[in-house]
Amino acid sequence: MKIVSLIPYITVQKNHVLLGEIFTNVGIKANSRVAYSPKPGKSARFDAKWLYRIARAHGLKWRPLSLKTHVIVERASYEIYEDEVLDALRKAFYDRGYQNNIEIDMNNRRLNIHVATNKNSMISVTGLTVKKKTGRFIATLIVPGDSSNAQRFRLTGRVHRLVNIPTLNKNFKRNDVIKKDDIEWIKVRSHKLRNGVLQDDEEIIGMAAKRRITSNTPLISDYLQRPKLVNKGDLVTISLTSQGLQLKTRGRAQDSGSKGDIIRIKNNKSKKIIEAKVIGEDMVIVNLFNRIAFK
């Protein structure tokens, strides 16, 4: 006769622990149910007295060597992770008409959800309710999603609507001019977006930094200025066109200015100061009514 021996550590797949999973050489009695399995992700400890009682009940010739003899039973399972729960929540929000520009914060991130390996891993979310003003939500997570005996978990948290805004991809110093390649789009929560933040890159490209700007900072108009095409003290070209006649001379800028600004220019020859409009880098044009100043 084969000797019956104890298996001290076992992993079970189903809802019941079988005699043949605890003891070896039990013959046709191997499939006899002797206990409920622990819940997925949990373990159970069967002590010497319980083991001896089970052995006697099934006519096995076995005795524990001491009262310290025991068996550890673990339920085979896999864990449902936070990203899977968030995916199920997103689907529930999309079904409610939300777009993909949302971010979800769960209050209970460590749910510690385990599903038996012999069960479907599908999860689902039901009963989603959302407060529009605050974005706070309540929902129920069902695991597995297609089982009548599924586990249910209460989910709470907050959903945030996201807005795409243009920022700078590097630090800018005062008067640095912003180019298209300097733009980096980022997502920010709409409720954290301060009034006046620029959301159109066309309002930024071609402008100059009015102050130091760090990368990924939401931009407002006060941070930007039109680039200075003429700086005070620069030698500039002065143009005047009248009735097909074009005159050019040189002068010294008395002010700094951006494109379209009216600044003061000192004529190098006459030493007179007139007003001129900035049209390009170190280039200005004189109002026809001021042309006499160049004589």
- Residue 60, number of CB atoms within 10 A of its CB: 19
158 contact partners, CB below 8 Å, separation of at least 6: 104, 105, 134, 135, 136, 137
Q: Mean pLDDT across the stretch 62-83? A: 93
pLDDT in tens, 221-276: 999 988 888 989 989 998 887 766 778 889 999 998 888 889 999 988 888 888 99
Q: Mean pLDDT across the stretch 66-83? A: 92
DSSP state string for 212-257: -B-TTPPPBGGGEEPPEEE-TT-EEEEEEEETTEEEEEEEEESS-E
Single residue among 57, 75, 93 that ends a domain in this structure:
75
As given in the structure block, the two tokens for residue 282 are 């170190």
Residues 192 and 250 in one domain: no
As given in the structure block, the two tokens for residue 134 are 């605050």
What is the chain's mean pLDDT, rounded? 89
Question: CA-CA distance, 228 to 278, in Å (whole number)?
Answer: 10
Q: Tell me, what's the pLDDT at 48? A: 96
pLDDT category at 146 given cuts 50, 70, 90 is: low
pLDDT in tens, 275-285: 999 988 889 99
Q: Tell me, what's the pLDDT at 170? A: 94
Assess if residue 116 is contained within a domain: yes
Assess if residue 2 is contained within a domain: no
User: Structural domain tally of the chain?
Assistant: 4
Q: Which residues on neighbouring strands pair with residue 161, listed in sequence order?
A: 102
Single residue among 225, 241, 268 that ends a domain in this structure:
225
Assess if residue 18 is contained within a domain: yes
Residues 88 and 127 in one domain: yes
Q: Which residues on neighbouring strands pair with residue 50, listed in sequence order?
A: none
| CATH number reported for the structural domain that contains residue 256 in this entry | 2.30.30.760
Question: CA-CA distance, 245 to 205, in Å (whole number)?
Answer: 36
Assess if residue 127 is contained within a domain: yes
As given in the structure block, the two tokens for residue 58 are 């099934």
As given in the structure block, the two tokens for residue 54 are 């089970």
Domain that holds residue 134: 80-162
pLDDT in tens, 12-45: 999 999 999 999 999 999 999 999 999 988 999 9
Assess if residue 1 is contained within a domain: no
| CATH number reported for the structural domain that contains residue 174 in this entry | 3.90.1210.10
Question: CA-CA distance, 2 to 40, in Å (whole number)?
Answer: 33
Question: CA-CA distance, 35 to 50, in Å (whole number)?
Answer: 11
pLDDT category at 287 given cuts 50, 70, 90 is: low
Assess if residue 49 is contained within a domain: yes
Q: Tell me, what's the pLDDT at 213? A: 95
- pLDDT higher than 70, residue 294: no
116 contact partners, CB below 8 Å, separation of at least 6: 13, 14, 40, 75, 76, 77
Question: CA-CA distance, 20 to 33, in Å (whole number)?
Answer: 9
Question: CA-CA distance, 75 to 38, in Å (whole number)?
Answer: 6
Q: For 129-147, give one letter per residue: b (16+ CB within 10 A) or e.
A: ebeeeebebebebbbbeee
pLDDT category at 149 given cuts 50, 70, 90 is: confident
195 contact partners, CB below 8 Å, separation of at least 6: none
Residues 102 and 136 in one domain: yes
Residues 84 and 156 in one domain: yes
Residues 67 and 122 in one domain: no
Q: Tell me, what's the pLDDT at 145? A: 63
Residues 42 and 111 in one domain: no
- pLDDT higher than 60, residue 205: yes
Q: Tell me, what's the pLDDT at 293? A: 46
Assess if residue 3 is contained within a domain: no
Query: Phi and psi (nearest 5°) for 217?
Result: -90, 130
pLDDT category at 148 given cuts 50, 70, 90 is: low
Sign of the C-alpha dihedral, residues 122, 127, 133, 136? negative
- pLDDT higher than 90, residue 295: no
Single residue among 225, 257, 279 that ends a domain in this structure:
225
pLDDT in tens, 87-139: 999 999 999 888 888 999 999 877 888 888 877 778 889 999 999 889 999 99
Q: In 3D, which of 135, 134, 206, 212 has the Cα closest to residue 166? A: 206
With residue 84 as reference, give the H or E element that holds it: helix 82-95
Assess if residue 68 is contained within a domain: yes
